[in-house]
Amino acid sequence: VHESDIALQVCTAGNLRTTLLLGEMTMKADKFDRFLIATDTPTGSGIMPLGMMYTITHLASLGDMPVEWAIAAATGNNATVYGLNNGFLKPGKDADVLVLDACVGGSQHNALDALRNGDIAAVAAVVTDGVPRFVGRSRNTPASMKDVRVVQNKVPQDYGLGKH
């Protein structure tokens, strides 16, 4: 953290203790903008669905990192380090949106509290390029507590070849 200005990436298949220590070090040194959550799967450990979600959950529930900061490390910090026009929900940025909720049977009533408490959040919807790609029950997470639906979509949709 103190020896260079290089970005510092952590991932699910890495060392959890090191991930927690590195998160703490970057926050204390005011270098959190260099802390990136990524995924390195498939690895020798196999494919790990929701790898980034687990890393966010571990940092927020086992460490002292605010859950919002952990999410930023997986989104905005990556975008900033790699010069991408996404990772932030604000005008002029490309936005892909993941809608999260607390899961049915979990210990909390909203996604942030669930992650903070160590529960995996339910993925309720995914929107990319302004188009709802998935809305409802994820096959990789428990069901969400709240029903999510598309009320209206004014984005032209073309599902032709080469679009996905």
pLDDT tens-digit profile of 140-160? 889 999 998 888 777 666 555
Are residues 64 and 106 both part of a single domain? Answer: no
Q: Where are any strands of DSSP class E within the chain? A: 8-11, 35-38, 97-101, 122-128, 131-135
pLDDT at residue number 31: 98
Residues 88 and 79 sit within 8 Å (Cβ to Cβ): yes
Phi and psi dihedrals of 90, rounded to 5?
A: -160, 160
Q: Does residue 12 sit in the same domain as residue 69?
A: yes
Classified as helix, coil or strand, 78 is helix
- Give, for 56, the enclosing helix (H) or strand (E): helix 51-62
Same structural domain, 58 and 20:
yes
In a domain, 157, yes or no: no
What's the pLDDT score for residue 36?
97
Report pLDDT for 71. 97
| pTM for the whole structure | 0.86
Q: What is residue 164's predicted lDDT score, i.e. its pLDDT?
A: 46
Residues 45 and 78 both lie in one domain: yes
> Is residue 78 domain-shared with residue 16, that is, in the same domain?
yes
* 127 falls within a domain: yes
- Whether 21 is covered by a domain: the verdict is yes
Token pair for 110: 């909203």
Quote the pLDDT of residue 161: 54
pLDDT in tens, 100-117: 999 999 999 999 999 999
Identify the pLDDT of residue 34.
97
- Does residue 72 share a domain with residue 12? yes
In a domain, 75, yes or no: yes
What average pLDDT does the segment 47-60 reach? 87
On whether residue 22 sits in a domain, the answer given is yes
Domain total of the chain: 2
Is 34 within the bounds of a domain?
yes
pLDDT above 80 for 24: yes
73, 31: one domain: yes
55 shares its domain with 119: no
Asked whether residue 69 carries a pLDDT value surpassing 70, the answer given is: yes
Radius of gyration (Cα) for the chain, nearest Å? 17
The span from the CA of 87 to the CA of 132, in Å, is 18
- Assess if residue 143 is contained within a domain: no
Contacts of 145 (CB under 8 A, 6+ apart): 101, 102, 103, 104, 106, 109, 122
- Domain holding 14, by residue range, is 8-82
Judge whether 74 lies within some domain: yes
Same domain, 112 and 62: no
